Amino acid sequence: MSQAKGTTAKELKIFSRPVVTCDDIKKDKRKMTLLHIIRLVGEISERGLTKLLYILKKEKDIDVGYKFILIGEIPNSKELLEDVRVLLYLGILETNPVTRKLRLTSSGTEFLESNKMPEDEMGKLEDCINEVKPKVLTEEATTEMLLRGIRARRRTRRRR
């Protein structure tokens, strides 16, 4: 009995992924609004940003376009986190290495200067953010204090 040798070949699978450019961001109203919100707030954590957008949607009836799910009392949005990752990838946003908060880069500021929102939308958004901002920043400060305490305890354990 003779066995025929079968040839084995390796297949190369190619997956195409869409590339996002700054021109795509200009056309995306949701991402542009997100950038303007971050500029108005200054520095904000991802969690604080999620909370801010959730409060704007629920209390101020300003829908940026994100869907939220509540896990316990904490709002989460997959689309928001994906948009933040895209903006970080493009270099429009950056994460502060010390506080781990999101902020605009210098190129992000230039990008927003050349792509402004209409004044009436901007004014309404700014007023609503100024009303909600203290609530979100207070919560962020509380979280930051808790994290500092946890980090301090970890450092003292390592030194022993």
The whole-angstrom separation of Cα 149 and Cα 59 is 32
| 80 occurs within a structural domain | yes
Domain of residue 138, residue span: 22-154
For residue 69, the model assigns a pLDDT of 94
149 belongs to a structural domain = yes
93 φ/ψ angles, rounded to the nearest 5 degrees: -115, 155
For residue 9, what pLDDT is reported? Answer: 77
Check residue 2 and give its pLDDT: 53
Q: In this structure, is residue 15 part of a structural domain?
A: no
pLDDT at 145: 81
Question: Can you name the residues that pair with 104 across neighbouring β-strands?
Answer: 93
The answer to the question of residue 74 being in a domain is yes
Asked if residue 102 is part of any domain, the answer here is yes
What's the Cα-to-Cα distance from 63 to each of 38, 43, 54, 86, rounded to whole Å?
A: 16, 21, 9, 20
Determine, yes or no, domain membership for 10: no
**Domain count across the chain:** 1
pTM of the model: 0.77
Question: What is the pLDDT, as a whole number, of residue 70?
Answer: 92
The per-residue pLDDT for 4 is 57
The CATH number for 126's domain is 1.10.10
Ordered per-residue pLDDT tens for the chain, 160 residues: 555 566 677 888 877 666 788 888 999 999 999 999 999 998 999 999 999 999 999 998 888 899 999 998 889 999 999 999 999 999 999 998 888 899 999 999 999 999 888 888 888 889 999 999 888 888 888 877 877 777 777 777 666 5
Determine the residue type at 16: S
Please check whether residue 160 lies inside any domain of the structure: no
- Domain membership of residue 134 (yes or no) is yes
